[in-house]
């Protein structure tokens, strides 16, 4: 069976954001060129060991870190290696994450020539004071210039990430960010509330009592404004944190929410193949040494049990506005959804957090505000 998606991790950054807990290192003095060759070798090992597994790939996603921390020449080499081992005939979406202040014309042209057809830019806020607080280095002008330049190069599928619930962020600041974002006339937006993760600058500040976060009520109000503003501008909410015009929903991220399988490559990358979730070595040297020895650089594997698959189908699928369908559940598990989760579904419908009909189950608007509380009810 082929895999639907491929994720490739580029762990290099020129600046580390205060909230980021992804596997990353400062770009300076790193073996960047050698790392790119190691990713190519990992792709070769996978393609050689399992011929045909890349034949049906629908999406490729370059994440990080920051893929656009690479030079144009390094981007070109990386994409050459990707095309060498992954047939492009079935790929409908090829995304690269990007920072607005790093996307020069030569990098955009290298991405576009290499097959990338979607950009996902980390903008986070249009309040430049807040940007400094969270460790971002771009300005609003960078965003407007980069979006215009990307369109000139030929990109039509451009998304930006926004964040709310930031330290000392006001509702007025969030409204201004949303209104400014809408002037870009983009087909896709992602918006996430701040999570204070371990091993981040914000986590240290939080534990010292030096991180002033908005209240839960204010954060909920911000989320409500987000939903309403997107709807006003013709962007459909297709997942708790994602909004798109028709035809622009992220194909790659839908693989995760559908609980389908994908392969992950690079230092610290995660994958889900043949019922096994795995993660690669995070430290770059350990990753590269493993690949150089002719071995897959996997440090951890977990065979997903049937109960875990059932749980994941619900709490991942319910993130989608369309929810989890009866047909899909039956196809994957050979048993009606209602036979497994009937009591939970009935209880959540009574609490007006779920809708249950002939198609399946999905969150109500109220349920979207407290999704994690709903998801927990589906743990077996």
Q: Which two tokens stand for residue 178?
A: 């949303």
Helix spans in the chain (H):
32-49, 72-85, 105-113, 128-133, 140-153, 171-182, 201-207, 216-232, 251-257, 284-292, 306-317, 326-333, 337-350, 365-369, 371-376
* Residue 135: partners with Cβ closer than 8 Å, 6 or more residues away: 15, 16, 17, 18, 19, 20, 201
Contact 168, 215 (CB under 8 A): no
Confirm or reject CATH 2.130.10.10 for domain 307-376, answering yes or no: no
169 has a pLDDT exceeding 80: yes
pLDDT of residue 16: 63
Q: Which of residues 51 and 310 earns the better pLDDT score?
A: 310
Q: What pLDDT score was predicted for residue 336?
A: 97
162/178 Cα distance (integer angstroms): 8
The more confident residue out of 79 and 128 is 79
Picking from 187, 174, 12, the residue whose alpha carbon sits closest to that of residue 97 is 12
Within the chain, all domains assigned CATH 3.80.30.20 are found at 5-257
For the cut 80, the answer to whether the pLDDT of residue 240 exceeds it is yes
Q: Report which listed range, 27-31, 130-134, 354-358, is most confident.
A: 354-358
Q: Among residues 69, 67, 73, 54, which one has the least CA distance to residue 95?
A: 67
pTM: 0.94
Size of the chain in residues: 380
Answer yes or no: is pLDDT of 21 > 70: no
- Average pLDDT estimate for 42-71: 93
> Which CATH architecture is the domain 5-257 placed in?
Alpha-Beta Horseshoe (3.80)
CB-count exposure of residue 325 (10 Å: 0-12, 13-18, 19+)? middle
* Token pair recorded at residue 240: 């708790």
Read off φ and ψ for residue 16, nearest 5 degrees. Answer: -95, 125
Separation of alpha carbons 25 and 45, rounded Å: 25
Q: Give DSSP secondary structure letters for 46-94.
A: HHHHSTTTTTT--EEEEEES-GGGS-HHHHHHHHHHHHHHS--TT--EE
Residue 296 and residue 57: Cα distance in Å, rounded? 20
pLDDT number for residue 357: 97
What average pLDDT does the segment 232-252 reach? 97
* Distance, CA of 14 to chain centre: 20
Average pLDDT over residues 247-257: 96
Q: Among 267, 297, 284, which Cα is nearest to 29's?
A: 284
Handedness of CA 192, 198, 201, 205 (dihedral sign): positive
> How far lies 296's CA from each of 49, 234, 278, 293, 303, in Å?
10, 45, 11, 9, 17
% of the chain at pLDDT higher than 90: 82
Report how far apart, in Å, the C-alpha atoms of 8 and of each of 1, 38, 95, 155, 267 are: 20, 12, 10, 21, 9
Q: Give the whole-angstrom CA distance, residue 342 versus residue 339.
A: 6
Residue ranges, comma separated, of all CATH 1.10.10.920 domains in the chain are: 307-376
pLDDT class of 110 with cuts at 50, 70, 90 = very high
Cross-strand pairs, 236: 244
Q: Return the closest-CA partner of residue 78 out of 142, 22, 167, 12.
A: 12
State the chain's mean pLDDT as an integer. Answer: 93
Q: What is the DSSP letter of 244?
A: E
Dist CA 7 CA 340 (whole Å) = 32
User: Do the beta carbons of residue 203 and residue 197 sit within 8 Å?
Assistant: yes
CA atoms within 13 A on the CB side of 123: 31
């Amino acid at each position: 069976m082929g895999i639907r998606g491929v994720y490739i991790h580029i762990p290099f950054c020129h600046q580390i954001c205060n909230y980021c807990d992804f596997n990353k290192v400062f770009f300076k003095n790193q073996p960047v060129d050698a790392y790119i060759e190691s990713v190519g070798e990992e792709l070769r090992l996978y393609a050689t060991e399992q011929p045909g597994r890349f034949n049906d790939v629908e999406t490729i996603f370059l994440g990080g870190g920051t893929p656009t921390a690479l030079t144009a020449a390094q981007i070109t080499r990386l994409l050459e290696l990707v095309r060498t081992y992954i047939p492009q005939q079935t790929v409908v979406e090829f995304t690269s994450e990007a920072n607005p202040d790093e996307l020069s014309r030569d990098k955009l042209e290298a991405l576009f020539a290499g097959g990338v057809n979607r950009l996902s830019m980390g903008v986070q806020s249009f309040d430049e004071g807040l940007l400094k607080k969270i460790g971002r280095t771009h300005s609003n002008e960078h965003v407007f210039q980069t979006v215009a330049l990307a369109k000139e190069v030929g990109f039509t599928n451009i998304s930006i990430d926004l964040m709310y619930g930031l330290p000392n962020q006001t509702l007025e600041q969030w409204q201004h960010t949303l209104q400014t974002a809408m002037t870009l006339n983009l087909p896709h937006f992602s918006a996430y509330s701040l999570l204070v993760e371990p091993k981040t600058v914000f986590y240290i500040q939080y534990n010292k009592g030096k991180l002033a976060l908005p209240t839960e009520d204010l954060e909920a109000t911000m989320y409500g404004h987000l939903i309403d503003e997107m709807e006003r501008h013709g962007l459909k909410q297709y997942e708790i944190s994602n909004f798109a015009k028709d035809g622009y929903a992220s194909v790659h991220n839908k693989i995760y929410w559908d609980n389908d399988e994908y392969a992950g490559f690079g230092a610290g990358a995660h994958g889900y193949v043949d019922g096994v979730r795995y993660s690669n070595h995070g430290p770059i040297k350990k990753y590269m040494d493993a690949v150089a020895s002719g071995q897959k650089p996997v440090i951890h594997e977990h065979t997903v049990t049937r109960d875990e698959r059932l749980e994941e189908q619900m709490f991942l699928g319910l993130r989608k506005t369309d929810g989890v369908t009866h047909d899909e559940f039956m196809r994957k598990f050979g048993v009606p959804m209602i036979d497994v989760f009937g009591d939970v579904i009935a209880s959540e419908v009574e609490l007006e957090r779920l809708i249950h009909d002939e198609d399946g189950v999905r969150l109500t608007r109220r349920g979207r505000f407290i999704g994690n509380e709903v998801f927990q009810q589906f743990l077996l």
